[in-house]
Structure 1
């Protein structure tokens, strides 16, 4: 039957993926093509935009080759992508700069510090919806203005990675509200570009692409794109959204009271809300369904486990063996604390924070150290949850976990007990692909609301409940952890001066 498949594209940092998803939300075929990051110098991270397009073309052709009959059955195409990568296009649609600074590029750190020195949080947070960080495109644009003036001057449109792919597919230029909300340039009250923020940062508002809704039909596949990709000319293409909010949708985090825990290298905890949570420690992202997701990022989530494996075992043990050791220690690790700030923090005045163990005695062994690392991440995230709950005025009811950390039962139980909130896991781990499919199904009329599409496509398995005894232990430890966090900040600058 025509129109019973959805084609999804995910422009990730490590690869481009394309997938065909059926009307029941099942992935039928998936293809991926890797691309490299370019590191011209320490702290920089770039990719070539043309490599994204090459990967998209190859991935689409792969999934169509795997299902030759599918071409005529695709109802719509929806893309998501890595956020904050700042792409400049001239008035003919050509790239003014082939290499794109990515979300993890830190070259703007000095610009962020200068902004924080010049302005108080109260001066701008209601207009930006976010605290400043090197990730935001606003600061990338400042850097491009100052260090690649020809590329900046000749740019007519600023777009994000998935928007560049959409342009190559349709010839149309737009940015969606989820990407714009994390630019540091969108007014969260109006959903339009903020002239005030552009003035504070001395950026040209006219260069910013039009903001559209993620579920809007941006355009259709052009004749030229059809020849390159093998797609049918005229196939509807959605505006789409950033990979993070699409993954929230595809994991089922669609209403206030629900939260998301994505633990990979970092750990991102997100609380679904009906308004942005304006706080110096909280970032805010627009959600696909039109609400907000307040989130806090812990730079070292799974990376804390990776560090412990290297530091204690020189990588001779696998993660399963390390978790098995940690399971031999009691909850609380005999009053041993670990502050997991191995690579600092993303926001605030203490980006130079450090990790530490506190409370080591002669009774502690490797099992305690390993469990303390897992518990330290959980306590750090719990601190973030309490800040967000206070900002929005309601408690989290349930957390939906995804990423590598969702595959470790012990860690899930530690987190559920520290948060004192049940945790569930999506049955389908490819949350971004499922989210894109739900968007395409809604945009083409199969569902009247995006939350209904997510409810149909997303199922959860393996509820992890808090252990009452562990929860009591962590509840007593949390205030001590919080005091350690605050009191340690006075020493970070002292540590830096020792390096001078």
Structure 2
């Protein structure tokens, strides 16, 4: 099983983190554009990361549910980190480069300049971030038509996808819509900047743009679907605005790096560039089967068979691994939820002042929980939350309920504001996120998927408490990659494929690394099962509250 989304930890600019590898081993450059930062790496042909550089990104929040970025800012950060990681080597040593990014939507004009997507009118704000929820009404309208295309997104289009966002842009900013010559998914924007090719990745189009892909049967843009949405103008110039040159991830973009991009990146003109992936899918490629946990979480599973799962995106053909169908579940706020719980608690400032060295506050809370469990003679720290329960959809439910209007819930609050109280809330939130994963796995299994283990990457994979709770709740072994940066490895695989020396399947075998196994502890499974029953009861209660409050006075 695989899953994940996004760069989970926002970091300050750095060019550190070096690793010892054979000097003569071929290297690929990889670029990962996450929600809060851009990272670049040098990765060897055996999948070992040699050097990493990171640069933060701007995020604009002009109104509730609006999240925007600047493609100029993103590309500038990309150039900065790539130059940093290749500074000490010859550009000739970089054999290829691959890009991944969040599934955000970028608008540019005929000259390649930013077209505003913001109600503020700021031109540089030309990226609607993946987590933007402005297109709620548009998503509801699209779902109301019940088109056959929707069966490939679990029955409902998400407001996080690009078709609702395009519809919003056309309705609310018609001047921007008319001026936008090209609309890109962010991963495809990066390959365009690198090569000047307007080609698009099958991954982005199938997963986020309602593009049809099948080994047998209909392929391409569904004219009837876009006609019903009053987006018929997208057909102009053979669908150029949203893509008419579609490539499988890892396919070489013929020209390689352009003269301009090569100079900006510190690489050679013509360096092979691989067709891109969405960031979560790059992590899945770097592990083959993974739960990718960051700002949000994606749960990805590939199968030789086409399996439809209500409330779960897909099945998408060849979206991550050529020849395989991908289903993708997800949670819209995971790492971001834990940050919210911590950042809004009165005890946090005092804890941060007392931390020494580079210790993260989540590590401090995990250690505190173990002390609290010992003091209460509890066999497992999870038993501490018997009376505290969380429904974690503070930013709506992506799957399996596919309801972006759901809200978060907490049961068991007290007047306590000390660090022990924060630790308990943090633990209950970690457990709730795992129960959300269990909910998704249940529907995947019921539809016909056979899941025997979980592979986890992303920021939260480095949290031992989170990983152990995953294993305990799911009663499955959890595999954590030895090479922590699976997303960067996945992007490097794309660059390696672009050299055309090996197929993507051969490259995955060479570069995807080994993993450590975390086994479930049996003593608390029944406890988690009871809490999971409470978890599902909480959303039923929330739905009942909504019905009660909708009654006329």
Q: What TM bracket, shorter-length normalisation?
A: 0.7 to 0.9
Q: CA deviation at 1:108?
A: 1.1
Tell me the TM-score normalized by structure 1.
0.86
SS in 2 for 1:379: helix
* Paired position in structure 1 for 2:544: 490
Unaligned 5+ runs, structure 1: 254-259
Match 2:435 to one of 379, 382, 403: 379
Question: How much does 1:103 deviate?
Answer: 0.9
- Partner residue of 1:19 out of 41, 52, 60: 41
Quote the RMSD (CA, aligned, Å).
3.1
Length-normalised TM-score, structure 2: 0.78
Match of 2:95 in 1: 75
CA-to-aligned-CA distance 1:326-353 (integer Å, 9 cap, x gap): 4415445447543223333246574333
**Greater relative CO, 1 or 2 (CA 8 Å, sep 6+):** 2
CA distance in 1, matches of 2:148, 2:502: 42
Any idea what the Cα deviations from partners look like across 1:47-87, whole Å, max 9, x if unmatched? 221222222223232223222x2x11222221111213233
Match of 1:323 in 2: 366
Cross-structure match for 2:331: 298
Shift of 1:384: 1.1
After superposition, the Cα gap between the structure-2 partners of 1:344 and 1:313, relative to the gap in structure 1 and judged at 3 Å, is farther
Give matches, 1:100-499, under 5 Å: 100-116=127-143, 118-120=144-146, 123-126=148-151, 131-189=156-214, 190-203=218-231, 204-205=234-235, 206=239, 207-210=241-244, 211-218=246-253, 219-253=255-289, 260-275=290-305, 277-284=307-314, 286-309=319-342, 310-311=344-345, 313-317=347-351, 318-327=361-370, 328=373, 330=380, 331-332=382-383, 333-334=385-386, 337-346=389-398, 350-358=403-411, 366=421, 370-391=426-447, 393-448=448-503, 450-492=504-546, 494=548
Asked if structure 2 preserves the Cα contact closer than 8 Å seen for 1:86 and 1:137, the reply is no
Q: Deviations over 1:15-39 (max 9, x none)?
A: 3333222222222233333221122
Find the residue that maps to 2:465 and give its secondary structure.
helix
Alignment partners' CA distance in 2, 1:282 and 1:245: 15
> Helix, strand or coil: the match of 2:105?
coil
Is 1:45 the equivalent of 2:79?
Answer: no
User: Post-superposition shift, 1:323?
Assistant: 2.1
What secondary structure sits across from 1:289 in the alignment?
coil
Measure the CA separation in 2 of the matches of 1:138 and 1:239. 22
Equivalent pairs counted in the alignment come to 484
Determine if contact 2:333/2:395 at 8 Å carries over to the other structure.
yes
Q: CA deviation at 1:12?
A: 2.7
Q: Which runs of 5+ in 2 are unaligned?
A: 1-22, 117-123, 352-360, 415-419
Residues 33 and 59 in structure 1, CA contact (< 8 A), matched pair in contact too: yes
Contact 1:3/1:72 (<8 A) preserved: no
Residues 1:408 and 1:155: Cα distance change in structure 2 (over 3 Å):
closer
- Return the alpha-carbon distance in structure 2 between the equivalents of residues 119 and 162 of structure 1: 29
**Is the partner of 1:41 in helix, strand or coil?**
coil
Shift of 1:439: 2.4
SS of structure 2 residue aligned to 1:125: helix
CA 1:313/1:208 → structure 2, altered by over 3 Å: closer, same or farther?
same
Mapped contact 1:35–1:51 kept (Cα < 8 A): yes
Please tell me whether the aligned partners of residues 128 and 186 of structure 1 are also in contact (alpha carbons under 8 angstroms).
no
1:32 is the counterpart of 2:32: no
Between the aligned partners of 1:382 and 1:431, the Cα distance in structure 2 is 23
Change (3 A) 1:346 1:315: farther
Judge conservation of contact 1:334–1:368 (CA < 8 Å) in 2: no
**In the TM superposition, what whole-angstrom CA distance separates every residue of 1:375-403 from its partner, at most 9, and x where no partner exists?**
22222210111111212x13211111122
Q: Matches of 1:236 and 1:45 in 2, distance apart?
A: 33
Question: Which residue pairs with 2:12 in the alignment?
Answer: none
Distance across 2 between alignment mates of 1:280 and 1:484: 21
Query: Contact 1:32–1:59 (CA<8 Å) still a contact in 2?
Result: yes
Q: Structure 1 residue 191: deviation in Å?
A: 4.6
SS at match of 1:9: strand
Match of 2:32, SS?
Answer: strand
Q: 1:185·1:197 contact (CA, 8 Å) conserved in 2?
A: no
Are the aligned partners of 1:106 and 1:135 in contact in 2 as well (CA < 8 Å)?
Answer: yes
Change (3 A) 1:124 1:216: closer
**Contact 1:128 1:197 (8 Å CA) reproduced:** no
